[in-house]
Structure 1
Amino acid sequence: MLRQMLLAGTERPHASRALEQMTRSTGSCSLFLCWGSTPHHNASLLFSDTATNHIVLSAFLRNGAAYIVMEKIEGQELAKLWHHISDETRLNLLGQLRQIVDELRALETPSEFSVGSCTGGSLQDFRQSRAPPPVRFGPFRTIQDFHSWLRDGLKQGEAENMEQADLNSVNEMIARQDGPWPPPVFTHGDLNPSNILVRDDKIVGIIDWEMSGWYPHYWEYTSLKIGSYLVNPAWDENIDKFLSPFPDDLKMEKVRFRWWGNIC
């Protein structure tokens, strides 16, 4: 399932060049490669199926810029097909997407950091207004450190000039953020239908991985739910069919976005 996918856009600071194998596994996802360059250059990941040829033919640096030569993936954006396919085909595609997400979640969690890019470097997410241009942040040693950064370091009991109901919701958010969390999972960061390529009723590629990385387990779900509710209500109705729902974490994130985000 997880076969011709190029993940691009994460950064590895303080590294002149890196090409490393991060995970070897069995089954359809046979090889996980991560390639990076100097700061502000891209790192790329390749997920390759044992039954297919690698789509990345060459990767190299020239004059300080990173280049990747890869095969073209023939397919259409799911967003353009969604309203023209049957309910049965939609459910089939959502099932395929669920399998892809499950394979991403099965990747071995890094031990040296909790929240960061594929190489342990900084992350990119244009939805995070706290990050200065070019909107990069992290990495973070713990998920709690990441949460603290998201709320600008505000501690329990420090919020002021709020209605009591708002104060209570912020304190509840902080208490949840500072609590224990399961290990981070590898996350695409923007699984909207425009980033999913389909051919002959099969998902053949997922693009735009610049916001991918290791995040808390809820991040894929809450980011997509909050963003889709505003810009793509039709997709919002289907998110629970390919991502595990985390309603309590969604409530927590909605509070954060209200006070520290740039979407809600």
Structure 2
Amino acid sequence: MSFLWPTSPAESQPTEEPRVLHSLALRSVTVHGEQVIKSGPDLYGHEASNLKYIAANTTIPVPRVHKVEQGGDGKTKKIYMDYMPGKPLNKAWPEMTEDQKQSVASDLRNYVEQLRNLKGTYIGAANRGQAVIGKFVAHGGGPFDNESQFNQFLFSRILPKVPDTFRYHATKTFKTNHEIVFTHSDLAPRNILVDGGQVTAILDWEFAGWYPEYWEYVKAYSDFNAVPKWLDNVDMFLPRRYTEEIIAMAYLNHFSH
């Protein structure tokens, strides 16, 4: 899920009648005056921690978090964030010039390099939050102290649905010696805001955190139909690597829904 957020956040409690930006199942994103509120009974509360960490350790443009509300069960119910200017890349793409596309790819390359320069010692969200896998069905677990534990988590959620004849080959692809780096986990065009040839924001850090170095590639390549020739541009900020992992995860994800 990705959203547009207002530019000048109000520090006080919003009082205006809310305007709905997005609503899906029990989740919603609404504008209240100059604030945006993401709300729902099943939010991943680590999104706020991820955003704060990225804001403090990179120059990546992200929404500033103002407040997080929790229910009596301790789960995150609402996150108050900035509005960020720009248009989702998947909507802006048809009208962009080749120079603008190249410029956006250059911005993304810079931001991805910053993420991959952040090295971790566990697998999970910021502040030792849970790792989350899946796209249409999300599963949380951990945090995990090493990649072997993470792999076992992957297999426990997916392998029961994989035909027996393919289990052996599917599991052998996953190694345990990848570097752990900070990862957005959903660098799809819908989560990238642009203005002309400039990236103005990267949104939706709900599934972000410390993951094996191939994880960003797996997630970015999973949305290859988003815009025409998107993969050619992905190659500019995520140069081709981890082919085995991408193919293996694409296969396993087929059985994970």
TM-score (norm: length of structure 1): 0.65
Which of 114, 117, 121 is the equivalent residue of 2:125?
Answer: 117
Letter in 2 for 1:136: G
Q: Pick one of 178, 184, 205 that aligns with 1:182.
A: 178
Q: How far apart, CA to CA, are the structure 2 residues paired with 1:224 and 1:144?
A: 23
Q: Mark the CA change 1:79 to 1:51 in structure 2 (over 3 Å): closer, same or farther.
A: closer
CA-to-aligned-CA distance 1:109-136 (integer Å, 9 cap, x gap): 2x3x2x111111113344274x5xxx42
SS in 2 for 1:185: strand
Structure 1's unaligned 5+ residue stretches are 6-38
Say if 2:148 is the partner of 1:144: yes
Q: In structure 2, what is the equivalent of residue 20 of structure 1?
A: none
Give the secondary-structure state (helix, strand or coil) at the position aligned to 1:220: helix
Alpha-carbon offset, residue 241 of structure 1? 1.4
- 2:156 aligned counterpart, secondary structure: coil
Q: Contact 2:61–2:202 at 8 Å: present in 1 too?
A: no
1:193 match: 189
In 2, the alpha carbon distance for the partners of 1:57 and 1:194 equals 20
Equivalent positions of 1:1-264 (< 5 A) are: 42-43=45-46, 44=48, 45-46=51-52, 47=55, 56=64, 58-59=66-67, 61=69, 70-109=81-120, 111=121, 113=122, 115-127=123-135, 129=137, 135-152=139-156, 161-162=164-165, 167=166, 170-177=167-174, 179-225=175-221, 227-229=222-224, 232=227, 234-245=229-240, 246-258=242-254, 260-262=255-257
User: For residues 184 and 236 of structure 1, what CA distance do their matches in structure 2 show?
Assistant: 24
Deviation at 1:209, TM superposition (A): 0.8
In the alignment, the residues of structure 2 paired with residue 104 and residue 73 of structure 1 have an alpha-carbon distance, to the nearest angstrom, of 20
Residue identity (%): 25
Amino acid at match of 1:214: W
Q: In 2, are the aligned partners of 1:188 and 1:220 still within 8 Å (CA)? A: yes
1:225-244 C-alpha deviation (Å, 9 max, x unpaired): 1x223555642332211113
- Check the 8 A contact 2:119/2:180 in 1, yes or no: no
| RMSD over equivalenced CA pairs, Å | 3.5
User: Contact between 1:123 and 1:138, CA under 8 Å: does it hold in 2?
Assistant: yes
Alignment-mate amino acid for residue 236 of structure 1:
L
Q: Is the 8 A contact 1:197 1:206 kept in 2?
A: yes
Q: Supply the distance in 2 between the matched residues of 1:197 and 1:183 (Cα, whole angstroms).
A: 29
C-alpha change, 1:63 and 1:150, in structure 2 (3 Å) is: closer
How many residues are matched?
A: 206
Provide the secondary structure at the position in 1 that maps to 2:173: helix
Aligned mates of 1:125, 1:212 — CA distance in 2:
10
Q: Report the TM-score when normalising by structure 2.
A: 0.66
Structure 1 residues 124 and 254, CA gap change in structure 2 (3 angstroms): closer
Aligned-partner residue type, residue 96 of structure 1: D
Flag the 1:59–1:161 CA change in 2: closer, same or farther, 3 A.
Answer: closer
Contact 2:109/2:237, CA 8 A, preserved across alignment: yes
Contact in 2 for aligned 1:57/1:70 (Cα 8 Å): yes
Query: What is the deviation of 1:95?
Result: 1.0
Gap regions ≥5 residues in structure 2: 6-41
* SS of structure 2 residue aligned to 1:238: helix
Q: 1:202: how far off?
A: 1.2
